[in-house]
A = this chain, B = another copy of it.
Amino acid sequence: MSRMLLALAGAAMITTGVVAQKAALKLEPIERQMPAYIQERLSAEDRVLFDKLMRVGLESAWSLVTAEGYPQNFINELTPLKSNMRMVGRARTMRYLPNRKDVREKLYSAGPQLNYKSAEEAQPGDVLVFDAGGETRAGVSGGVTTVRFLVRGGAGLVIDGAMRDVPELEAMPIQTYMRRGHASSVSPIMMSVDYQVPVRIGSVTVIPGDILVGDTTGILVIPAAIAEKVADTALEHDDQEDFQRQLLLKGESIYDVYPMNAATRKRYEEYRKQKR
């Protein structure tokens, strides 16, 4: 369980006293755990970073990514297949375009389609990112290929388009973001064109190596160079927000607490000292 939720649970208990014999607010914990299978396969550095990003508040992280000069880096046009699963991983990108014989023949004589290639070459903690331009009349990949990706330690799928085998994807221990499902293979409509290039997902540019953090709110795209800084600073901010939640659950006024006035800030500094 994330620290934030523990704090909420604690606050709820305190609240019980306040509201006397009445029913207490009960806020259910949010599970934010990386699947063990993936976690164990990560590099040591990634394990530390990804663990922080599993717990971080998406909103505080967004504020920091924006402050670093990336205000357009949030994807909310796709739907996650599962509502209670956070995704953290590193972008491996592909770009699909509508079919045309000349381009297709050249590309496919040069090597395998990119859903195969990306599944085969995936590193633990990778997220496959398919830019299909929002096309939903064919799936860009499906269940069997994703089994290979899973075995390689794949951490998620992000498709600006459609996927096949949706129930099989739902049964897998990773998150999938997409527009719709479709039983059609990609071939009648599209072809994979570019591998590991900048792509557009919703209204965001994703480049290879970006760190993606997603939940039901959407997906934050963090440039790799600032991911650690964002994670650390956001967790500090989350800690403060957890404190604020506690005060609110005790019945204090939002005007004193969020944002904090001078008195509340002083109490927060006390609380921080005691925690250390």
Contact = CB atoms under 8 A, between A and B. Distances in A.
Contacts of A225: 102
B258 A100 contact: no
A147 interface: yes
- Give how many copies assemble into the complex: 6
6 contacts: A27-B172, A73-B100, A74-B183, A133-B200, A164-B217, A181-B218
Interface in A27-61: 27-30, 35-37, 39-41, 57-59, 61
Nearest to A39: B23
A230 B58 CA distance: 40
A101 interface: yes
Contact of A97 (B28, B70, B205, B217): B205
Interface string A1-40: 0000100000000010000001111111110000111011
A41 B251 CA distance: 14
Interface of A: 5, 15, 22-30, 35-37, 39-41, 57-59, 61-63, 66, 68-74, 76-77, 83-84, 86, 97-103, 112, 116, 119-120, 133, 135-137, 139, 142-145, 147-148, 150-151, 162-168, 170-173, 180-185, 188-189, 193, 198-200, 203-205, 207, 215-218, 220, 223, 225, 241, 244-245, 248-249, 251, 253-255, 257-258
Nearest to A138: B74
B59 A98 contact: no
B185 A59 contact: yes
A168 B116 CA distance: 37
A237 B17 CA distance: 43
A83 B102 CA distance: 32
B76 A144 contact: no
Nearest to A168: B30
